[in-house]
Amino acid sequence: MSSIVIIRLLKTSILLGLCLIVTGHGLIVSSYFTNQYGIKGIITAAACIAIGVLLSLPTKRQNPSGSACLVLMLRYHLFMGSNHTT
């Protein structure tokens, strides 16, 4: 994979992570969502924030560079449909 593709995936991952963080915060702050769905709504919003943080975190690794989740996806080829059992 070229560095341009990795940088695009990194930027997309960070942008998606930030959007999930803002969405999760908005869901927690909105009284309608928490009243309508109760504890499940709070858990859903917290999960959005947690996944957003994972996607937006930079990694300290040199190669491949990117967010922690992106590094796992690139390393284990999860987004390419490979069926690895290890």
Distance CA 28, CA 9 (A): 28
pLDDT greater at residue 68 or residue 85: 68
pLDDT at 70: 58
Percent of the chain exceeding pLDDT 70 equals 65
Give mean pLDDT, residues 53-62: 69
CB of 62 closer than 8 Å to CB of 69: no
